[in-house]
Amino acid sequence: MERVPILKIGDILLVSIQVDMSDQTAVALQEDLAERIVDTGCHGVIIDITALDIVDSFVGRMLSTIASISKVLDAETVVVGMRPAVAITLVELGLSLNGIRTALNVERGMELIAAAHDDGFDDELEDEPDAETATP
Amino acid sequence: MERVPILKIGDILLVSIQVDMSDQTAVALQEDLAERIVDTGCHGVIIDITALDIVDSFVGRMLSTIASISKVLDAETVVVGMRPAVAITLVELGLSLNGIRTALNVERGMELIAAAHDDGFDDELEDEPDAETATP
């Protein structure tokens, strides 16, 4: 099974996804990332998807899961390098990657994480409607 | 054909090799890298091979070529993330990756490039014995 490498750069973990994600690879990546966040105490995860031609619902869900896990471990997740065609397909599929932050490239992602970590980065996410507490 | 993504981080270009390199992929990577070095004016290239289980002579030669191209374009190349087993195999194969600098991880690679760029980074490489000028 292929494992996606996780690179530590300063206070950030960088993951560049280049291979087709299988169930196993996705689960392994989530576990590895969670472990590395705890080991290193990093406050940010940048996921680069420059190499992906297609982001389907499986990958979309994986990104959401990673973002949720990271959030629980006090790390912000930013997805970078999305191709224009991928963005168009995502919207057409009705996948809006809720709760995931995006940036154009790694450098902007790093700025976003640095800024979010200074401010307390929960502010924006709190604005989303919460299905569980909404009145029927 | 798969293209290996090149990420710009500050003054450094980061390449994480995760797929099996074919001739075409290797040539495309060399061309893309040369172009990006010229476009960005970066002084360092870090090639991460954490994901590689095997570095054969083809990959070794590709790394050497990339290092040579980068050097001509005034950029230092550092290979990072080599697994212990890969290092052992390399030596057993008689491939010593001449002219290529290595570091344990991306952060150390960045330090190496920063230091090399301050000092003028040709000093160490000059110490290697040169087969062509050696007396028989």
pLDDT digits (tens, 9 = 90+) for B39-89: 999 999 999 999 998 888 889 889 999 999 999 999 999 999 999 999 998
More confident residue, B122 or B25: B25
Q: What ipTM does this complex have?
A: 0.75
- Cβ separation of A16 and B7 shorter than 8 Å? yes
Domain ranges in chain A? 4-116
pLDDT of B132 > 70? The answer is no
- Cβ separation of A50 and B7 shorter than 8 Å? yes
- Cβ separation of A18 and B9 shorter than 8 Å? no
Lowest mean pLDDT among A32-36, A61-65, A90-94: A90-94
CA A102 vs CA A17, A63, A80, A90, B103: distances in Å: 15, 11, 6, 13, 30
CATH fold for domain B4-116: Transcription Regulator spoIIAA (3.30.750)
Residue A66 near residue A33 (C-beta atoms within 8 A) = yes
Residue pairs between chains A and B whose CB atoms are closer than 8 Å: 61
pLDDT of B128 > 60? The answer is no
Please enumerate in sequence order all residues whose Cβ is within 8 A of that of A129, keeping only pairs 6 or more positions apart, or say none. none
What pTM did the predictor assign?
Answer: 0.80
pLDDT range class, residue A120, cuts 50, 70, 90: low
Q: Return the pLDDT at A96.
A: 78
Three-state DSSP at B46 gives: strand
Residues in B lying within 8 Å of A, measured between beta carbons: 2-5, 7-10, 14, 16, 18-19, 48, 50-51, 81, 105-107, 110
- The C-alpha atoms of residue A56 and residue A79 are separated, in whole angstroms, by 15
Q: Where are the beta strands (DSSP E) in A27-81?
A: 44-48, 76-80
